[in-house]
Structure 1
Amino acid sequence: MMIQNAVILSTGDEITTGKVVDTNANYLSDKLAEIGIDLVAVITVGDVLDRLEWAWRTAIEKGDVVISTGGIGPTADDLTTETIARVAGVKLRRDEAAVDHMKRLFASISRPMPENNLKQADFPEGATVIPNPLGTAPGFRMPVTIGGHTAHLIVLPGVPREMTPMMENTVIPWIAANRGTDQVYAVKIFQTFGMSESALDEAVAGLIKPAEAKVSFRASFPQISLKIRVEGKPGEVDRKLEELAHRVREKISQFIYAEGDTSMEETVGRLLIEKKLTVAVAESCTGGLIGHRITNIPGCSQYFVGDLVTYSNDVKSGVLGVSEDTLKAHGAVSEECVREMAAGVRKRTGASVSVATSGIAGPDGGTPDKPVGTVCIALSADDQSFTRRYQFRGTRDWIKLITSQVALDWLRRYALGLPIADSAIFRR
């Protein structure tokens, strides 16, 4: 067996109609690339039996391995398993271990198991079950030969939180073990913020030669990932990867907020704990988004004091102590206002450092002097106070998200002793 390429098959009317974005295909593409598997195609098909059969036959013809997500639920439109059995010319068999697993899951939440869930324990003859510890739908793996070409089918649930651990714990190790080569791959991912994709590309240009590694970028608003993938002999790739990663760190260190699959708020939380700092937030246009992101991280009670959402001017004045004169002279969306908001929330909570936001997220409310997307951010600490006015562009949710990202990045920079003045790409 030698697996060199793959086809991804995404099924479901919700995908073909645009109601759901196919994030699974993006994730699977990344994981396959990391272990050196060439992706031949991504096929998306709805819940129609003849179309599904066409998709599977096409995928089997083109790929050494075919990875499918979706279509293995308990309802009538979940047709993946029976389609594969039909294509392979085999019968379905019931796996009693899968039945027992489902019964235990339903018993754990004190609910009776609907009879139609038993459908998820039926597998084509010759299939190897892939356990699903987080859901009722196990996956499976099986070889199918059509026209003299054998493809290995890997069927996974469509729910990302179930599919992801199955892929990483079971599927990836199996594929990697069957690549038929002693070459291995190592990957380093840098999460960056504060540079555009083109500026990032320009900054690292020439650092890594094509013969040394593959360098790729992915813009996923509001951050950009830089990935280095190295191929080589076992024992060599890690050393080689670290050498290349060191070059990147030296060049763009202040814009790298994490390595690996780590969010900005995770990085900020870790730094605040390391530096023994506490933080408070005063929000207007972001409406609690910064506090929400901070409290998504387990253990945030060690450093997060509180978040005051002060949307109206009366509350800014009455709760945070923003001067009426400041509001009259400069307005709520001003550097003067957010400076007082940040100082006010820090004074009232006793936090080591605070950030504040106020802006016009749109789509209405802009003026010639302060168009939609005008946002002011402030940071307050014992040793410094910093404010800046930005002109963001995009939809309301994008403006709120980029504002929260900048505010969190300011906290990261403060904790590291870096200049708060970040990239000028958003500066008005």
Structure 2
Amino acid sequence: MVDAEIVAIGSELLLGGAADTNSLFLADELLKLGIEVRYKTVVGDLPKDIEAVLLHAFERARIVITTGGLGPTEDDLTRKVVARVTGRRLVLHNDALAAITHRLAARGRPVTAEQTTQALIPHRAHILQNPVGIAPGFFLMRDDRGVMCLPGVPSEMRRMFSEGGAGCLEPLAGGALHGSLLRRRLRTFGLTESEVDSRLRDLYRAEPNVVLGLQAGEEGVDVSITVRARHVDSAQSTMKRVERAVRDRMGHALYAVGSQTMEGVLALQLKARRLTVTVAESCTGGLVSQRLTSIPGSSSYFKRGYVVYSNKSKVEMLKISGTLLNEKGAVSREVVTAMAEAVRARGNTDLGVAVTGIAGPSGGTKEKPVGLVFWAVADKKQTLWLSQIFGGDREGIRRRASQAVLDMLRRYLSGKPVVE
């Protein structure tokens, strides 16, 4: 297995002004080539810092990939520093300049001296054309080390890597000579991280070439399985065996594999069963509806959404009894079930989904603290409901609540118990 290091360049990444999503994409894509990212470094725009990081990266990784610092401004220094540490001079690359000129002309922009600096490339480097933006990338070798420089704009970086960069790295990956590494992610909801850990404990050391990892977040706990083997067939066989064992231990909490989302799973279920749904939301403020409609073709199952934040809106839009609201409170089993039943009737759909709660940071009491959420699913025969006190800040509570609502709907559609 060939080792790689990703170097994300840009002071904005250190100062909190931007998130490094490029490294996540690259790690996944490199793994498909048989290249394992062993290190990732984030560095600011100072030349001496970039140089120090690159020199260290060359010592410990066969492949070094940088993102950022290829633009026309004063703080775009990647070209200069890479040329210096690889012992090459910068030269004006005519094809790169022509592409830059053409792209700017298409946008009605002049070719300034600053823009032409983006065509200065280390001598004998392979150009990676930019199908989306202006700045080209490039690839070169430093002794037996490969160096690839990509733009920092995510849309540009992804296209450039997929359409040109990946091909430059395939000879270095070496295929089966370096062994095989497979990685899979199983997504769960409804179990805490410690509960998932307890269920998997006997697997951690059962397979010497397998690494299990857990990542907890607002959408649940993801289980990553990493398998190393000398040959692809062996890796695939081990992955199949371990994945089956993990699935057995996760039970109904397992909802997706890989990058699939809860709303994506629900889209498949609702379309397959030709069911329709209407949603009523209070504390989530439309988040459940937004997630359900984020999937292309959602109009076939999502018919209507109501945000009934105040008691008055619950009465006016859903005809919830004012007496019920006064006696039980908006955050209660009685009100959320009434909301689900009412919204199903008003939407004339197969299912009604409702959620109400206290997202905070104020509004909580001893009896009903911040984070308390009730949610329900109603069909023409029954209404199911659940409640939980979620931790976190306001947005975290809203996000976790929306995931819980969608998970209940998933379990209902699958014929599974709504709780573990």
SS in 1 for 2:173: coil
2:154 aligns with one of 160, 164, 173:
160
Would you say 1:222 and 2:219 are equivalent positions? yes
Task: Using the TM superposition, name which of 379-388 and 32-41 deviates more.
Answer: 32-41
SS in 2 for 1:369: coil
Would you say 1:193 and 2:189 are equivalent positions? yes
1:332 CA displacement: 1.0
Contact 2:211/2:225 (<8 A) preserved: yes
Contact 2:104/2:111 (<8 A) preserved: no
2:52 is aligned to: 54
2:131 is aligned to: 133
* CA gap 1:246/1:40 in 2 versus in 1, 3 angstroms: closer
Task: Using the TM superposition, name which of 329-338 and 120-129 deviates more.
Answer: 120-129
1:179 aligns with one of 173, 180, 192:
173
Contact 2:45/2:76 (<8 A) preserved: yes
2:258 is aligned to: 260
1:306 CA displacement: 1.6
* CA gap 1:360/1:414 in 2 versus in 1, 3 angstroms: same
Instruction: Give the 5 Å matches for 1:165-314.
Output: 165-167=159-161, 170-171=164-165, 174-175=168-169, 177-180=171-174, 181-207=177-203, 209-232=206-229, 233-314=231-312
CA RMSD of aligned residues (A): 2.5
Task: Using the TM superposition, name which of 18-27 and 305-314 deviates more.
Answer: 18-27
Instruction: Give the 5 Å matches for 1:7-406.
Output: 7-29=5-27, 37=35, 39-102=37-100, 105=103, 110-112=107-109, 115=112, 116-145=114-143, 150-167=144-161, 170-171=164-165, 174-175=168-169, 177-180=171-174, 181-207=177-203, 209-232=206-229, 233-406=231-404
Counterpart Cα distance in 1 of 2:221 and 2:98:
44
In percent, how many aligned pairs have the same letter?
35
Counterpart Cα distance in 2 of 1:96 and 1:202:
60
Counterpart Cα distance in 1 of 2:352 and 2:110:
50
SS in 2 for 1:205: helix
Counterpart Cα distance in 2 of 1:168 and 1:225:
26
Counterpart Cα distance in 2 of 1:177 and 1:191:
34
1:48-94 Cα shifts (integer Å, max 9, x gaps): 22222222222223322111111112322111112212222323234
* CA gap 1:112/1:182 in 2 versus in 1, 3 angstroms: same
* CA gap 1:129/1:395 in 2 versus in 1, 3 angstroms: same
Counterpart Cα distance in 2 of 1:214 and 1:173:
29
1:426 is aligned to: none
Contact 1:34/1:187 (<8 A) preserved: no
Aligned residue type for 1:338: V
Counterpart Cα distance in 2 of 1:210 and 1:174:
34
SS in 2 for 1:206: helix
Aligned residue type for 2:225: I
1:102 CA displacement: 4.4
Counterpart Cα distance in 2 of 1:339 and 1:186:
45
Q: How many residues align?
A: 415
1:99 CA displacement: 4.3
Counterpart Cα distance in 2 of 1:400 and 1:328:
24
Counterpart Cα distance in 1 of 2:24 and 2:184:
18
Aligned residue type for 1:284: S
* CA gap 1:81/1:383 in 2 versus in 1, 3 angstroms: farther
Counterpart Cα distance in 1 of 2:303 and 2:135:
41
Contact 2:31/2:181 (<8 A) preserved: no
* CA gap 1:412/1:101 in 2 versus in 1, 3 angstroms: farther
Task: Using the TM superposition, name which of 217-226 and 91-100 deviates more.
Answer: 91-100
SS in 2 for 1:372: coil
Counterpart Cα distance in 1 of 2:347 and 2:102:
47
Counterpart Cα distance in 2 of 1:132 and 1:182:
31
SS in 1 for 2:232: coil
1:130 CA displacement: 2.7
Aligned residue type for 1:376: F
1:268 CA displacement: 1.0
Counterpart Cα distance in 2 of 1:29 and 1:183:
17
SS in 2 for 1:298: coil
1:301-340 Cα shifts (integer Å, max 9, x gaps): 1211121111111111111111111101011111111111
1:2-42 Cα shifts (integer Å, max 9, x gaps): x7322221211112223223343455456556766555543
Aligned residue type for 1:289: L
Contact 1:61/1:151 (<8 A) preserved: no
